Amino acid sequence: MLTIRLIFESLGFAYKALKSNILRTVLSLLGVTIGIFSIIGVLTFVDSLEKNIRESFNFLGSNVIYVGKWPWVRDGGRDAWKEFLKRPNVSYAEYKFLRANMKQAETVAMYASKGGMTVKAGNSGINQINLTGADLDYDKLFEFNLENGRYLTNDEIEGGRNVAIIGYEVSKALFPNMDSPEGQQIKIKNLKYTVVGVTVREGESFLGMTSKDYGVIIPYDSFRKLYQTGTGQWFELGSSIGLKGDENDIGLVELESEARGLLRVKRGLKPIVKDNFALNRPEAIANAISGVFDVLSIAGWIIGGFSMLVGGFGIANIMFVSVKERTSIIGLQKSLGAKNYFILFQFLFESIFLSLIGGLAGLCLVWLLTLIPFGSLQIVLSVKNIVLGIGVSSSIGLIAGIVPAAMAARMDPVTAIRAA
């Protein structure tokens, strides 16, 4: 009952403080509003940016390690680059070896890609297409959905037949009047391929990363008719091997260890010799740019911190004025038996409520920010950031009100009444 009474009395006093001098109160709360807007705005922007970037790499799949010549995150400058350049490309024999011996991998798939391709059908054509040569289980390695048709069969892949799965945008450009172009023929480098499937539309990613909408998938051996994919250092294209691990293998530690051991055996590397291949993880890219997000978050806290400091002084000023204006009321309450903690909590609650008003105003500004279109970047105000904003503004109110509240609680009732 006492807590409820304190809350309602504090709400009443806070309302009176706002009503008695709206301009003074609004100017005092402006610091809290700007501070919360700065902090939560930056954190919301950073969280949304990170989410959009991570979603842009969804095409790489999950629980996957990619074996290749080049590491995705490179350190060491020019000397390291020269060392990577000397490495051999991944070979088809190594893929067969891993497929036959891997125990920790649920899926082992090999593929190679070539960008900037032109695909034609009749009098229609489309440029800048990503051509992929896929081996067995490629569809299990990546997030792969078909709108029409089917995936490549084992016979088509092993026989290197001229069949193709085309992306949604490729289908619309080459066969605009067909809902299902299966059985139609397309041309790639003057070779004819029969369409057997069309992928589901993915849309444009935030970073403009590779999309299946503008892709064509053909059997790996059919791809090798167009481009060399051997192990030599100067071959036109290199291939990659994808290893999908078990969900129970936390961190894919066992998968990575087994793959490294088998590849070193296959390549005849002595124990003292470093790996001449790279084991890449999709999450390594996100980890590499996480430092940028941390810096942006810190910058938001610093910028917002100064505003919150000013806002805290504004709240404290309101509370000092409120204590002075209500000195006689404090003396009357204490003469009627009000305890010190009752007076203390009364002013603390009032300070917190005032600060919360400023914080909620800042959160409303952030919410309005999410309504502004930023192209493919989607800004979302998360529940976590809302709770954080409320928590920070409440803390500022508590800190700013503690001194005025303590002064009010320690007042002598007789002196307070005479002050009237």
Residue-range domain boundaries for the chain: 2-56+289-418, 88-276
The average pLDDT across 285-304 equals 72
- What confidence tier does 79 reach under pLDDT thresholds 50, 70, 90? low
Whether residue 126 is predicted with pLDDT greater than 80 in this model: the reply is yes
388 CB-contact burial (10 Å; exposed 0-12 / middle 13-18 / buried 19+): middle
| Closest CA relative to residue 391, chosen from 48, 39, 46, 50 | 39
Confidence label for 218 from pLDDT (cuts 50, 70 and 90): very high
How far CA 170 is from CA of 93, 133, 137, 153, 184, in Å, comes to 33, 17, 23, 21, 13
Sorting pLDDT into bands at 50, 70 and 90, what band is 219?
very high
Dihedral sign, Cα of residue 111, residue 114, residue 120, residue 124? positive
Name all contacts of 377-384 with Cβ < 8 Å and 24+ positions apart: 377/48, 377/49, 377/52, 377/206, 378/48, 378/52, 379/44, 379/45, 379/48, 380/44, 380/47, 380/48, 380/51, 381/40, 381/44, 382/44, 382/47
**What pLDDT is stored for residue 163 in this prediction?**
92
Would the pLDDT of 414 be above 60?
A: yes
Distance of CA 180 to the CA centre of its chain: 35
Report the C-alpha gap between 115 and 215 in whole angstroms.
9
User: With bands split at pLDDT 50, 70 and 90, how would you rate the model's confidence at 412?
Assistant: confident
What is d(CA 322, CA 350) in angstroms, rounded to the nearest whole number? 10
224: pLDDT strictly greater than 80: yes
Of 299, 309, 201, 242, the closest CA to residue 95 belongs to: 242
CA distance 222 to 164: 10
Which residue, 153, 178, 172, 174, is CA-closest to 163? 153
CB 109 within 8 A of CB 137: yes
**What's the rounded mean pLDDT across residues 71-88?**
72
